[in-house]
Structures are given as C-alpha cells and as structure tokens.
Amino acid sequence: MDISGFIKRADTVWEIPPRAGMRVPAVIYASEALLRDMDDKVAEQACNVASLPGIVGASYAMPDAHWGYGFPIGGVAAFDPDEGGVISAGGVGFDISCGVRTLLTGLRREDVTPHLEKLAEVLFRTIPAGVGSTGRIHLGLQEMDAMLRGGARWAVQRGYGEPADLERTEEGGCMEGARPEQVSARAKKRQQDEMGTLGSGNHYLEIQHVTAVFDRPVAECYGLAEGDVVISIHCGSRGLGHQIGTEFLKEMAVAAARYGIHLPDRELACAPLHSPLGEAYLGAMRAGINCALANRQIITHLAREAFRQVFPEASLPVLYDVSHNTCKMEEHEVAGRRRTLFIHRKGATRAFGPGHPALPADLRDAGQPVLIGGSMGTASYILAGTTESERQAFSSACHGAGRAMSRRAATRKWQGRKLVEELAHRGILIRSPSLRGVAEEAPGAYKDVSRVVDAAHAAGLARKVARLEPLVCIKG
C-alpha cells in the first residue's frame, strides 16, 4: 500500500483525514510493515465507509484488514440512528455472526498426545465439515423459527449443552430483537439440515495447546496455563447467513437512491436504521446471529460427545464465545457523552474492557476474552479487552491473521495432500473432506498472526494473554 496519504498518529495508528465526501477520518491500526503490505483497496474501502450517513468518530480498520465486499474485512464503523445513521449488509458480511468459541479441557498436552490420532478420527466422524455438509438435525419451519429467536438458548433447551455455557457466550447466547419472519423461505431451507456443521473455507475445529502466557493473572482468571489443552471452534451461520446477506444487499442497492443515499461503491448498499428496510434487515441479521450461536452450541455438544469417547471424564466448559461479523446496538462514550450507536464489526471482534457490565461476573475484572483464530498450521491467540479500546475503536479488536493472497492464488502455490503431510511432520494432524480446501487455506496464504496480534496489543485494542498452537485441525 502507498502510505503517503496517511498521517502517522502513533507507531500503530495511521489516519487519512476527511476528503472528497468523507464525513469522518479513516483510521487503520497497524505497524508500518503491516500497513505497507495491505492492499490499496483497504484504504479505499475505509474511506468509502467514512462517507456513509450518520457515521460517528471514524471509519476504522484492524491490523488484519484486507479487501472485502464494500467494507474492508477488519472494518469497524459506528452509526447514530438519530443522525441518519445506516445499517449495511456489506458491513456485517455474508457469514453473519461467524465467530470463535473456546472450550477448556482440564487436560495437559502430555495427557492427549498419545491419543491424538483417535481424537482426530472421532471428531472428524462426529462433526460434519465441508461445502454443503449436513448434520443429523433437521428443522421444520416451526423449529427453525424457534431456533432463530432463541439462538444458543434454544439449543441448550433441546439438550445440546448446559445452561452454564450461556453465561460465557456473547449476549447470553441469544440476540434479542430477532425477527424470523424477515428471513426468507429460501434462507431457511438452506439451513434446515446444516445445524451442527462447520461448513467450508476458513472454518475449523482445533485441539490446541497453550505454548505461552503473557499475562499470568488474566490467564489464571480465564483458566489457562502453559501446557493446557483447549478446543476452539470457528464457524458461523452457514447458508442462512449468506442468503440473508445476498438478498438484503440487492434490496438495499436498489433502495439507496430512494433514501437519498449516495453510494461511492455499490457494494456499500445500506438503508437508514430508522426505515422499514433497515429495521427488516436488522431483524433478519439478529436471527442470523442466533443461528450462528445455536450452531456453535450444537457443535460444542458434539465435540463433548466425541471427546468423551477418549476421555470419559472430560467436561469441556466454555471459556468464551464471541462473534466477528455483526452489527450491534451498544452504548459508547463520544466526546464525553454516552450515545446509543450501532457498531458494525466485519471481521472484527468486540473487546469490552475490565468492569464492563455485559461481561460475566467472574470475568469482569479481567476484561472480555478476545479469541483470535490462526490458520491450520499457525498459532492462535487469546487476548483481553482493554479500557483503552473503548476510545480507540468502540471496544473492537482484530479477529485473525487476515488473508495475504486469494484462495485461487493459494491453490496455484500449494497442494493439499503435501500440506497435510508437511503439517503431520510438525505434529499437526489435519482432517478435511477437501484437499483443495486445505490448499486454499494454506497457512502461508495468511498474514503472520503474531505480527497482527502484536500490533493490536501495541495499539491498546486488546492485550495479549496466551498463545495457542494446533495439535489437531478438523478443516471445512
């Protein structure tokens, strides 16, 4: 990226002042090296977002930012509905409420190492993964609507997990205000056999071990120590979320002119929050969030079933579950005044700091766990939200490494079978229904996640707590 148009505010804070239609600045959090490595489209898209009606503060991009649909992936933007603020399906993304859930196992690496092959096989057999994968749950229309209203709470009520899981899940496992009637019949049909499945792309279930602890008191609060084994689940709302995004983007693009909204890029299609279309999308999007929360809850239940075939006494409590493709109504302080805003986080994670009332009581002093996913053969991280992040970017942080090359380019450079063999030599077992999918998600196709996390830490978006490395990866 050409960085000549940026003003360097700090070592990891870069700003483009308002210009040519921008209502607010565009701010990118990154080291200089990360910024230079980003595609020019990241800055272009961040500036385009800064031109949308009702935007507050700035248009932000996280250290893992890369080109996306309309908004950059890693984009964060807040809108005030009382000042003409909008909601954008492209600012949420197609995989609504894609996120990460981490489970504690109470086991050490030396406990599981002799059993990794068996664990890999039972998890791969138990949890469907891949394009078009379907599970053992079939939802009729009535149950579909109940799931879309109830999220993970619905799943627990149906026997998929425990009430304690909900205490460690964002929104208590259920996004209020969901309107299943705004979700099309086609979207529901796509989802009726996909609950409890990982899907494809960068989604995964990993057995990981803690290889470093950076903040011991917070790690102890989270139940983490070096050598501990955890399980992380990364997935979202599958076909239902994608269909919601597809349909509303088309409708918003057509309606923009009617609402008097000038779009610098058609992919920024949006509607006023105070409009029938904006409210309809908000209700459908919230239903999509509940779908993703229910999906990760069911996968949690399946993972416990599989894990107990090898370790019958394992309980696998939830450390935390947080999404990174959402738009949520939150209260934030702006210029000394509390305001109710709608925060788009696309490929960005909520990162509430210590003391925030939305956090579970036993995590409140430490701050929210921020779960940063790696890519098959790379590290993942657990961070903690900071008080400083509130004024930096509406309590937001990065969500992963961010792609460095397209999936097509990755398949030209790597072969899936060879990658599986190379990772096995490193002690990482891969199970996937698609070798092409493995090649598309090659670790080298992503940025260095450690550099991304270091930038987020240096900027004060979140602070490092622990590094995790994979032992088994069930890849979609």
What is the structure's pLDDT at 135? 86
| Helices then strands, each counted (H, E), the chain | 16, 19
* Position 201 pLDDT exceeds 90: no
| Cα separation values, 12 from 24, 63, 67, 440, 455, Å | 19, 9, 19, 30, 6
Count of domains in the chain?
Answer: 1
Average pLDDT over residues 287-293: 98
The predicted model scores a pTM of 0.97
Is 384 part of any domain? yes
Percent of the chain at pLDDT > 90 equals 95
Domain holding 71, by residue range, is 7-475
What is the structure's pLDDT at 133? 86
What is the structure's pLDDT at 432? 93
209 is catalytic: no
Is 2 part of any domain? no
Is 84 part of any domain? yes
Average pLDDT over residues 187-212: 95
* Position 130 pLDDT exceeds 90: no
Split at pLDDT 50, 70, 90, the class of 476 is confident
Is 19 part of any domain? yes
Average pLDDT over residues 99-110: 98
Average pLDDT over residues 296-314: 97
Is 415 part of any domain? yes
Is 143 part of any domain? yes
* Strand partners for 29: 13
Q: What does pLDDT average to over the chain?
A: 96
Give 15-40 pLDDT, tens digit per residue. 999 998 999 999 999 999 999 999 99
Contact between residue 143 and residue 188 where contact means Cβ atoms under 8 Å apart: no
Is 407 part of any domain? yes
Is 1 part of any domain? no
What is the structure's pLDDT at 412? 94
Rounded distance between C-alpha atoms, residue 127 and residue 111, angstroms? 23
Average pLDDT over residues 66-88: 97
Contact between residue 211 and residue 231 where contact means Cβ atoms under 8 Å apart: no
Of 311, 408, 324, 336, whose CA–CA distance to 95 is shortest? 324
| Cα separation values, 182 from 149, 240, 277, 288, 361, Å | 12, 12, 10, 11, 34
CATH label of the domain that carries residue 236: 3.90.1860.10
Cβ atoms within 10 Å of 276's Cβ, excluding its own: 10
Rounded distance between C-alpha atoms, residue 354 and residue 464, angstroms? 14
Average pLDDT over residues 444-453: 94
Of 203, 209, 399, 457, the active-site residue reads 399
Average pLDDT over residues 461-473: 98
Give 33-63 pLDDT, tens digit per residue. 999 999 999 999 999 999 999 999 999 999 9
Percent of the chain at pLDDT > 70 equals 100
Helices (H), 308-444: 388-393, 407-413, 416-425, 435-440
